[in-house]
């Protein structure tokens, strides 16, 4: 049987049964210290401006994060250090990548844990030098494994970004060529359609088909426009943007079936965002259109906005089926779609526009069913 990555890492640090036994003995004496260690850990983060900004959920979530850290310490020392342990730690690492936690903060945080555990070892095994040496060695190895796993997840992300950049480059070259070539025949069809409308007379059946041709021309031109927007860097007309009229205009421009209700909450008194009003309107048109189609034929869509620290958050959620977990990691890539008639360009364009505004967009599944997309835009 081939050696797993975790098996290779353990062999590299010379991990063995003695280390596992030493950590289990350390766990028994260290558990009462977990609360104190979590206090020291987050006091250090809150005292450093850069590290404090990396906290997901802000300072209000520190109480919950302290409990999470104690659970992390418990598994660190109690084991078992098997493939399930490796997968759990990888998920934590991927979350750090997801929230864009800088690697140097991750290293600094691990150093705080290392120092506090060594302090516990020194005090608890003061009169037992053999146990002290064994615990020190085992703690060093397991924390080295943790660092290696974290770095592995950062490397995964780096490789994924490189592959994504290569795909986008190829995609851009193809789109630039095809998009412009398609505009010419579509223009000819549109001109011919205009002439035919003037000569059709009172044939209602023929008019119906001409209307359908016109509608599909609009769809085709819209797809080409989105494709070209994906590869061009349209300059931002930067200004202070009142989001309430932008959101209301986006909501009014999205067609929806009678059975879908759309609610806008929290729009009054929002701080102005910084950016291009037309491009931001496109962001919310795309998100609302997706939400309405997910909620159809009968359901609800809710837009909720609130002021955050130096930013404004706008959440668009629907009562539809949500997004397949297998698609979520690539949800914002071009040509990735979960809709039967989707082209996979709307969310990719949304992400591009939001990031050009120095903002972020994230997907979060709703409790029960449905999807929730949260756009965060700077206000200063």
Three-class SS string for 218-234?
A: HHHHHHHHHHHHHHCCC
DSSP-derived 3-state class of residue 188: helix
The continuous run of DSSP H or E covering 317 comes out as strand 311-318
The pLDDT assigned to 135 comes to 93
The answer to whether 359 and 377 have CB atoms below 8 angstroms apart is yes
Nearest to 333 by CA among 212, 197, 171, 222: 171
- Characterise 187 by phi-psi region: left (phi > 0), alpha (psi -120 to 50), beta (else): alpha
The pLDDT assigned to 205 comes to 83
Look up residue 307 and give its two tokens: 């002021």
Strand intervals (E) in 119-272:
239-241, 260-265
DSSP letter (8 states) at residue 59: G
Is the whole-model pTM more than 0.75?
no
The answer to whether 142 and 23 have CB atoms below 8 angstroms apart is yes
CA atoms within 13 A on the CB side of 315: 16
Look up residue 186 and give its two tokens: 């579509």
Look up residue 14 and give its two tokens: 């010379």
Residues forming a β-bridge with 372: 317, 364
The pLDDT assigned to 335 comes to 57
Instruction: Give the span between the Cα atoms of 180 and 177, in whole angstroms.
Output: 6
The pLDDT assigned to 55 comes to 65
DSSP letter (8 states) at residue 298: S
pLDDT, tens digit only, all 380 positions of the chain: 578 888 899 999 999 999 999 999 999 999 999 999 989 888 888 887 766 666 655 555 677 788 888 999 999 999 899 999 988 888 888 777 766 677 777 788 888 899 999 999 999 998 999 999 999 999 999 999 998 988 888 887 777 767 766 766 666 666 666 766 777 788 888 888 888 887 877 778 888 888 888 888 877 776 676 666 655 666 677 788 899 999 998 898 888 888 899 999 988 888 888 888 888 988 898 899 888 988 888 889 999 999 887 788 999 999 888 877 777 766 777 655 555 555 556 788 888 888 888 888 888 777 667 888 999 988 87
CA atoms within 13 A on the CB side of 212: 6
The pLDDT assigned to 34 comes to 93
The pLDDT assigned to 331 comes to 74
Nearest to 293 by CA among 326, 263, 265, 260: 260
| Cβ atoms within 10 Å of 306's Cβ, excluding its own | 14
The answer to whether 307 and 272 have CB atoms below 8 angstroms apart is no
Task: Give 293's contacts (C-beta < 8 A, 6+ positions apart).
Answer: 320, 339
The pLDDT assigned to 287 comes to 92
The pLDDT assigned to 379 comes to 82
| Cβ atoms within 10 Å of 257's Cβ, excluding its own | 12
Task: Delineate the domains of the chain, giving CATH numbers in brackets.
Answer: 1-232 (1.10.490.10), 239-378 (3.30.565.10)
For tokens 């034929």, what's the residue?
297
Q: Parallel, antiparallel, or unpaired: how do β-strands 273-275 and 260-265 relate?
A: unpaired
Instruction: Give the span between the Cα atoms of 186 and 43, in whole angstroms.
Output: 62
């Amino acid at each position: 049987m081939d050696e797993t990555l975790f098996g290779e890492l353990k062999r590299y640090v010379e991990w063995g049964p003695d280390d596992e036994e030493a950590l289990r003995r350390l766990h028994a004496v260290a558990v009462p210290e977990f609360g104190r260690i979590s206090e020291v850990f987050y006091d250090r983060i809150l005292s450093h401006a850069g590290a404090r900004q990396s906290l997901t959920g802000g300072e209000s979530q520190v109480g919950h994060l302290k409990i999470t850290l104690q659970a992390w310490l418990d598994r660190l020392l109690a084991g078992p250090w098997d493939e399930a342990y490796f997968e759990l730690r990888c998920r934590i690492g991927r979350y750090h990548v997801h929230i864009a936690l800088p690697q140097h903060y991750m290293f600094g945080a691990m150093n705080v844990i290392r120092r506090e555990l060594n302090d516990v070892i020194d005090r608890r095994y003061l009169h037992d030098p053999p146990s002290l040496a064994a615990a020190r060695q085992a703690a060093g190895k397991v924390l080295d494994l943790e660092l290696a796993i974290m770095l592995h997840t950062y490397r995964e992300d780096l490789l994924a970004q490189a592959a994504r950049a290569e795909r986008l480059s190829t995609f851009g070259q193809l789109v630039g060529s095809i998009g412009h070539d398609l505009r010419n025949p579509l223009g000819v069809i549109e001109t011919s359609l205009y002439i035919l409308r003037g000569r059709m007379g009172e044939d209602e059946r023929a008019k119906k088909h001409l209307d359908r041709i016109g509608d599909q021309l609009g769809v085709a031109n819209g797809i080409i426009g989105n494709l070209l927007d994906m590869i061009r860097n349209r300059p931002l007309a930067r200004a202070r943007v009142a989001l309430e009229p932008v959101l209301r205009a986006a909501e009014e421009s999205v067609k929806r079936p009678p059975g879908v209700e759309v609610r806008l909450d929290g729009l009054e008194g929002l701080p102005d965002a910084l950016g291009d009003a037309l491009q931001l309107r496109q962001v919310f048109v795309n998100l609302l259109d997706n939400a309405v189609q997910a909620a159809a034929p009968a359901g609800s869509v809710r837009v909720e906005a609130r002021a955050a620290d130096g930013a404004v958050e706008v959440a668009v959620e629907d009562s539809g089926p949500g997004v397949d977990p297998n698609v979520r990691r690539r949800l914002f890539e071009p040509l990735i779609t979960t809709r039967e008639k989707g082209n996979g360009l709307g969310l990719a364009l949304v992400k591009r526009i939001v990031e050009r505004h120095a903002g972020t967009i994230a997907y979060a599944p709703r409790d029960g069913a449905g999807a929730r997309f949260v756009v965060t835009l700077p206000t200063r």
